[in-house]
Amino acid sequence: MELVYTGKTKNVFKLEDGNYLLKFKDDVTGENGVFDPGANTVGLTIEGAGLAGLRLTDFFYSQLNAQGVPTHFIEANFEDATLKVRPATVFGKGLEVICRFKAVGSFLRRYGAYATEGQPLDAFVEVTLKDDDRLDPPISADALHMLGILTLEEYAILKERTIEISKFVAAELEKKGLTLYDIKLEFGRDANTGEILLIDEISGGNMRAYKGDTYIEPLELEKIMLAE
Amino acid sequence: MELVYTGKTKNVFKLEDGNYLLKFKDDVTGENGVFDPGANTVGLTIEGAGLAGLRLTDFFYSQLNAQGVPTHFIEANFEDATLKVRPATVFGKGLEVICRFKAVGSFLRRYGAYATEGQPLDAFVEVTLKDDDRLDPPISADALHMLGILTLEEYAILKERTIEISKFVAAELEKKGLTLYDIKLEFGRDANTGEILLIDEISGGNMRAYKGDTYIEPLELEKIMLAE
């Protein structure tokens, strides 16, 4: 089993059958020891964060697969905190697709002249480049197309899927009395068929969940969501 | 004649007939004494810059009006460096619509992972908010629509007009052996009819023109363009 990538919160191994294994770490993104799903740096290590992220990922992806949403998910192994996934290539050097239900974070930092904190945004989708050096700049459909990162047809699929998946996650949270403020998804192309797949994890590490006005930390989110 | 707005490079007066008068100043945008059309601060004062900007604006707008492009331009007065314009309201708190023929400036700062300096961009259009405090953030058609700044139909008009106007300016520069790298336009709604109008100036202050690899300063651009 070959280590092919060391990420901020996950390591990636290549399996002999052509699939990949994602090993979830206990490192979470943030700054100065404070968790922030929008941050580009590892802010702190929380014991159990990796397994909690994997359990939530399993919870959401199992249902998405059952609903027929194309994803890279094959199976989770809680013993060693790994996720087996299908091989996929990212768009360009990687995109983050953000779906916003409430105005917070970078949306407010950019568009605060036109939006107030917590304002409803009705599943608003935007795309940013994964580019730490350039602070993950937002990018339009036209620019993605012009720079050869994806086609306008692929963008339309990405946007539609993002809304569908994010609304499903929001509905699951709502069943537990939680509100989804925003969520960050990643997509790629199936390495064999070219089909657009949902990739990466879906966990507390890439969403902002609130109970009333109180932000719910990733580990707490896992406990609430997976409680019987 | 009432002063209604003091801008970085122009003051705006309201006329008794309902139109407005733009007084072109010799201040140009830039940083640390170096001219930069993309900067948000007045970097330096160049004697004659106001009149040069007005002369070029008159040169381009007279032809655009003759071609039937809706603009706010009525007439220029070179004696007192003023431009008489129709009343228009801006979109939201003002937008900048940028048309790019070569990758430089903020485009490269954002998307440098996918583009090289000077790379052709084929009249690529992007919109930024006029918001000095938030460093003029780029904004997508979807976000403009969602935030009530303009409709998707208005965005389509804006984009089409921007390409048309920018290609006209590029062709005029080409006649003098110059290359247009990028240009920043502003649009508004006619205060009486709601029609979308090209507003503000078109001069060296809001474009980057090159002769070969050499950047042409605004005053030099006016001399080259208006030489018999």
A91-95, A145-149, A183-187, B47-51: least confidently modelled range: B47-51
ipTM: 0.87
Please report the pLDDT score of residue B189 as a whole number: 96
Please report the pLDDT score of residue A45 as a whole number: 86
Please report the pLDDT score of residue B37 as a whole number: 72
On whether the CB atoms of residues A85 and A28 are closer than 8 A, the answer is no
Which of A112, A113, A138 is closest, CB to CB, to B138?
Answer: A138
CATH 3.30.470.20 in chain A, residues?
Answer: 91-217
Over pLDDT 70: what percentage of chain B? Answer: 100
SS3 B119: coil
How far is it between the farthest Cα atoms of chain A?
A: 52
Please report the pLDDT score of residue A164 as a whole number: 98
pLDDT, tens digit, 9 for 90 and up, residues B200-225: 999 998 999 999 999 999 999 999 99
Q: Which of chain B's residues have a Cβ under 8 Å away from the Cβ of A139?
A: 110-111, 138
Q: How far apart are CA B206 and CA B211, in angstroms?
A: 17
Please report the pLDDT score of residue A163 as a whole number: 98
Q: Do A147 and B111 touch (CB under 8 A)?
A: yes
> Per-residue confidence at A64, pLDDT binned at 50, 70, 90?
very high
User: How confident is the prediction for chain A on average, in pLDDT?
Assistant: 94
Question: A90 — contact with chain B (CB < 8 Å)?
Answer: no
Question: B111 — contact with chain A (CB < 8 Å)?
Answer: yes
Q: What is the mean pLDDT of residues A177-183?
A: 98
Please report the pLDDT score of residue A33 as a whole number: 77
> Per-residue confidence at B125, pLDDT binned at 50, 70, 90?
very high
Question: A116 — contact with chain B (CB < 8 Å)?
Answer: no
Chain B nearest C-alpha distance from A27 (Å): 26
In the predicted structure, residue A113 carries a pLDDT above the cut 90: yes
Please report the pLDDT score of residue B92 as a whole number: 97
Q: How far apart are CA B210 and CA B207, in angstroms?
A: 10
CATH of domain B91-217: 3.30.470.20
CATH 3.30.200.20 in chain B, residues?
Answer: 2-88
| Count of alpha carbons within 13 angstroms of residue B100, beta-carbon side | 24
Q: How far apart are CA A164 and CA A2, in angstroms?
A: 35
Please report the pLDDT score of residue B150 as a whole number: 95
Name the CATH superfamily housing domain A2-88.
Phosphorylase Kinase; domain 1 (3.30.200.20)
A79-83, B10-14, B39-43: least confidently modelled range: B39-43
Sorted by sequence, the CB contacts under 8 Å of residue A93 that are 6+ apart come out as: A129, A130, A131, B113, B114
Query: A142 vs A165, A194, B52, B216, CA distance in Å?
Result: 23, 21, 34, 29
On whether the CB atoms of residues B24 and B83 are closer than 8 A, the answer is yes
CA angle, A32 then A34 then A36, to 5°: 110
In the predicted structure, residue B10 carries a pLDDT above the cut 80: yes
The full DSSP string for B148-178 is TSS-HHHHHHHHHHHHHHHHHHHHHHHHTT-
**What is the side-by-side strand order in the sheet with B2-6?**
B2-6, B10-14, B20-24, B82-85, B73-77
On whether the CB atoms of residues A25 and A218 are closer than 8 A, the answer is no
